[in-house]
Chains A and B, each alone.
Chain A
Amino acid sequence: MLFTALVLLIGVALGAVGFFVERGTSTWRPEVTRTGSGWRVVQTHQAPLGGLALGGDDLVWGCGPSIVLMDLNSGRLKLLGPGPASQATWDAAASQRYVVWFEAEGTSAGEASAWVYDSSTRRRRQLATLGDVLSLPSASGDRAVWCTTTPGGGPGIVAVNIPTGEQISVATEYGVPVIDGDIVTWPRRMGSTGMPAAWALVDLAQGRRWSMVPAATLRNADFLGYDLSGRTLVWGETDSESGLSRVIAQNVDDGGGSIVAEVPGGASLAAAPSIDGDLVVWAETLATPPGSRVMGRRLGGGPTFLIGDVDGRVLSTAASGGTVAWLAQQGQTTFIETAKVPR
């Protein structure tokens, strides 16, 4: 039976060679190393890393059209998208269990589809079809929200129940929504600096709708972006004239605002802040470039603390479940680093 074993062995060897050659020639695989505080993921091919998202034990990013997921416990990588019929993807959003992203034949295609990866069942499926992509998705718990063109042709904000695929209309207007729990929010009437004149808010569980004027804003400040956790909205703004930057937190129920951090001239806020529970995270460029540092502060009290020194310019940050991740660039190379923050 030596001959039959040899035939099997030759076949298995051919299959294994094919598998490892295909894996070795993939252009989405970065260099992943474990660090003292978490992980370091470095771009190894031409396409830069982007679209950072963090949810549960999953770190997600984009690399060219590829959507890549890394298990924060093992460092194992998975290519989530695009599927064989698609060539374009948009930045993904992650909740504790789900990763949601858009795919289309091309970025100019009028119709895209929303896909979801369920990390508990390890399955990927199509969640919905949508018209034009007017915003990136945002995900929290079992829900995702995004803005797309409605059947009538105008823009609309849609919430989707991920397990059932059931869609509900949140608003018939344009907005870049963020969801956390039952609350959906998006900025309204953004001026030339991007600073919104109001926050639109919807409580999906109670059907309540209201708006809120941003608190503690700097005059003529540039708006850097926003995030939502629980009943707290945070955003970053920077005033190029005075050189002052601020991270502001505002309670969506009573409108009470507070300055979480103020970055004086010389240094500046590098990207939009992130919030998870009572932890607010932001990145500051140092007065002596190209260094940056990722900082954190708990809204419950306590001083600002250093999460990580970054050798490069931070492009975005994310926080989830005691883990903080940041996407940074040094020269032509992009990289992602993660760190654990004590609760």
Chain B
Amino acid sequence: MTAWVRRRTPLLGPFGVRVLLWLLVELWILNVADLLLTRYSLSLGFATESNGVMDYFFKSGTVQAVAFKLGIVTVGTLLLWRLRHYRTSLIAAALLTAVFAAVVAYQALWVLSF
């Protein structure tokens, strides 16, 4: 995979790598916020988990859900960091962070309005 990325994508400079690091930190924090807001919304009895995989883990138990959600995103962010010298990694991190920010903003507004 690394060889494929190296052939196809331009490389990132030191500034780009720093931006990537910040994005990955934000992504991880947003993932924790998403987890907390989802757990709270589910506990109120009004929300349902529309992600089938997460629904399975939430039904299995909170510990399993926390372990899976934190684990999968941690692995993902480490993978993107491993590929930190490639611009594709930065684009992917930016897209994921924006999507997580949208989800967290939506959930936070729902909880605040409730």
Enumerate chain A interface residues (CB-CB to B < 8 A): 1, 3-4, 7-8, 10-16, 18-20, 23, 78-79, 83-84, 122-125
Contact = CB atoms under 8 A, between A and B. Distances in A.
A12 B100 CA distance: 9
B114 A78 contact: yes
10 contacts: A7-B94, A7-B98, A12-B101, A15-B101, A15-B103, A16-B109, A18-B106, A83-B48, A122-B44, A124-B46
Kindly state the interface size class of chain B when it binds its partner.
20 to 34
A239 to B, nearest CB: 47
Given A15-B102, A79-B46, 10 more contacts: A4-B26, A10-B98, A12-B101, A12-B104, A12-B105, A15-B105, A16-B105, A16-B109, A122-B44, A125-B45
Contacts of B114: 78, 122
A123 B45 CA distance: 6
B36 interface: no
A124 B45 contact: yes
A123 B44 contact: yes
Q: Which 3 A-B pairs have the closest CB atoms?
A: A11-B101, A15-B105, A124-B45
B109 A19 contact: yes
A7 B102 contact: no
B19 A15 contact: no
B22 A15 contact: no
Contacts of A83: 48
Contacts of A20: 109
Interface of B: 19, 22-23, 26, 43-46, 48, 94, 97-107, 109-110, 113-114
A228 B23 CA distance: 62
Contact of A7 (B101, B106, B107): B101
Contact of B23 (A7, A12, A16, A84): A7
Nearest to B105: A15
A127 B64 CA distance: 27
Most buried by A among B100, B104, B106: B106
B112 to A, nearest CB: 10
B37 to A, nearest CB: 11
A4 B96 CA distance: 12
Nearest to A115: B45
A79 B104 CA distance: 21
Most buried by A among B44, B45, B110: B45
A13 B97 CA distance: 13
Nearest to A76: B113
A8 B97 contact: yes
Given A4-B19, A16-B106, A19-B109, A11 B48 contact: no
A11 B46 contact: no
Q: Which of A1, A4, A14, A84 neighbours the largest number of chain B CB atoms within 10 Å of its CB?
A: A4
A12 B22 CA distance: 17
B48 to A, nearest CB: 5
A66 to B, nearest CB: 13
A291 to B, nearest CB: 37
B22 A1 contact: yes
Contacts of B45: 123-125
A124 B114 CA distance: 12
A18 B94 contact: no
Contacts of A1: 19, 22
B104 A124 contact: no
A8 B101 contact: yes
A84 B44 contact: no
B111 to A, nearest CB: 10
A131 B97 CA distance: 48
A7 B109 contact: no
Given A11-B99, A12-B101, A18-B106, A123 B23 contact: no
A23 B105 CA distance: 14
Contacts of B94: 3, 7
B109 A15 contact: yes
Contact of B98 (A14, A16, A23, A124): A14
Nearest to A79: B46
Given A3-B19, A15-B103, A16-B109, A8 B48 contact: no
